[in-house]
Structure formats: structure tokens, C-alpha cells
């Protein structure tokens, strides 16, 4: 009886350890989607910017496009990837349904994130005021909404299935430990980057640091380093 009881107590733990890494659309899958989305977005922005300069200016131009000070992470794309996965993945939608819903979801998300950046940091990382019928203070345009639709279809049809295959190959126990460490480091990176940008804006306005942390940010992340990290970021007066 005692042996049977011990066996019964250990069974759920063993079963949980054997559950596939990233099964369903839970924490593990969505965190993996977020990380890959951040990296994909950073690469996409660099390549797009490179091609634009090559076509228009006929010159080789590489510019950093990350949203974090450390690492190649474009957070807005990671957030968008998570929202797309949660709302559109595994629903057997046709491509035109993915296009329309993805365009609306990503378009609205970009506007919201753009306004949040302006309100909380006093900066802006993109502006489409030169686009035809731009709206939301230049944070979006019909062309950008249309482009988001194509990106959504490409992500759900091509990128997301690859992510699912990748997570299926990751050992559950080791995968969870590595994922937790990566997410902790990424959250720290995002918090440092956010506070450094906020302090950069305050410094731009002539406000001295009021706390030891503000003094640390001024010392560790001066204007020249911030401009190097965010070459396309502008202050919103």
C-alpha cells in the first residue's frame, strides 16, 4: 500500500516533465514566439532599411534598428507576433482572412505602441507622415496597414509552423530552464533600455537626475551611446 501510494504521488510529476516543450499556446510557446519575433523584426528592419537606401541613395548603409540597448530585439515585432499567434494561429483561417485580421491587429497594435512610446518616453521611432493618407499623427498609413497584412500571412503560414517544429525538438526540462533564463535577461534588458530612454529625454529637456539610478543612467548611457543605440529615434516636443 505504501509503495503504491508513493508511485501514485510521483506519476503526475513525471507526466508533467514528459509534456512537450511549448505544447499548445501557453507560456513556453508564446515566450518563444516573442523572442523569435523580436529577432525577426530586427533583421527585417535592418534589411528593409538597407534595401531602401540602396535603391534610393545607391549606397551601402547598415543601421542598428533594435529596441533594446543589448541584443538584436525589436520588441514591437515580438509583441505583434504574440498577438498574431494568440488570435490567428491554429484556427484554419483562409489567407484572405489572415490578411484582413492581421492587418487590423498589427495596425492597431503599432498605433497603440507608438502612442505609448510618445507618452511614456517622449520619443518616437517611426513616422509615416510622408505616406499617402497617413493618420494617427503619422504612426500609420494605408500602405503600412496593407504591408502588415502580408507580414501576418507570412508569419502564420511560414514562421509560426517552423516555431512549432522547433519547440517540438526542444527537451522539456532543459528547454524550460533555458527559456526562463533568457526571458529574465530580456526583461532586464527591456527595463534598462526603457529607463535609459526616459532619462535621455529628461536630460534632453535639461532636467538633472534626482536619484542615484538617474545618475547611473547618465554615466552608463550618455547621449552619444544612446544616439548610437537608437539612431532613428527622435524626441517629440
Residues 6 or more apart whose CB falls under 8 angstroms from that of 90 comprise: 25
What is the grid cell recorded at 236? 517629440
Q: Is a pLDDT exceeding 90 seen at residue 145?
A: yes
User: What are the residue boundaries of the structural domains of the chain, listed by start?
Assistant: 22-235
Q: 124 with 178: CB under 8 angstroms?
A: no
Provide the b/e sequence for 137-166 (b: ≥16 CB within 10 Å): eebbbeebbeebbebbbebbeebbeebbee
Q: 8-64: per-residue pLDDT in tens?
A: 455 554 545 567 888 888 899 999 999 999 999 999 999 988 998 888 888 888 888
The yes-or-no verdict on residue 93 having pLDDT over 80 is yes
- pLDDT band for 92, please (50, 70, 90 cuts): confident
- Which residue bears the cell 502564420? 156
pTM for the full model? 0.87
d(CA 123, CA 134): 19
Query: Each residue of 35-46: b (16+ CB within 10 Å) or e?
Result: bbbbbbbbeebb
Amino acid at each position: 500500500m505504501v509503495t503504491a501510494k508513493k508511485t501514485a504521488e510521483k506519476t503526475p510529476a513525471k507526466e508533467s516533465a514528459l509534456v512537450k516543450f511549448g505544447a499548445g499556446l501557453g507560456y513556453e510557446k508564446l515566450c518563444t514566439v516573442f523572442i523569435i519575433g523580436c529577432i525577426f523584426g530586427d533583421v527585417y528592419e535592418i534589411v528593409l532599411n538597407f534595401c531602401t537606401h540602396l535603391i534610393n541613395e545607391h549606397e551601402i548603409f547598415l543601421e542598428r534598428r533594435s529596441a533594446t540597448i543589448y541584443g538584436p530585439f525589436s520588441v514591437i515585432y515580438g509583441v505583434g507576433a504574440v498577438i498574431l499567434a494568440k488570435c490567428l494561429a491554429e484556427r484554419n483561417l483562409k489567407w484572405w482572412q489572415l490578411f484582413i485580421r492581421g492587418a487590423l491587429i498589427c495596425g492597431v497594435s503599432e498605433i497603440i505602441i507608438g502612442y505609448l512610446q510618445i507618452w511614456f518616453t517622449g520619443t518616437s521611432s517611426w513616422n509615416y507622415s510622408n505616406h499617402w493618407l497617413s493618420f494617427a499623427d503619422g504612426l500609420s498609413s494605408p500602405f503600412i496597414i496593407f504591408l502588415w497584412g502580408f507580414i501576418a500571412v507570412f508569419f502564420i503560414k511560414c514562421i509560426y509552423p517552423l516555431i512549432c517544429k522547433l519547440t517540438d525538438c526542444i527537451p522539456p526540462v532543459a528547454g524550460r530552464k533555458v527559456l526562463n533564463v533568457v526571458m529574465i535577461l530580456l526583461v532586464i534588458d527591456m527595463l534598462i533600455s526603457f529607463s535609459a530612454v526616459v532619462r535621455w529625454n529628461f536630460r534632453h529637456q535639461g532636467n538633472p537626475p534626482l536619484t542615484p539610478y538617474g545618475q547611473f543612467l547618465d554615466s552608463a548611457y550618455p547621449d552619444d551611446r544612446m544616439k548610437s543605440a537608437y539612431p532613428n529615434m527622435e524626441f517629440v516636443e
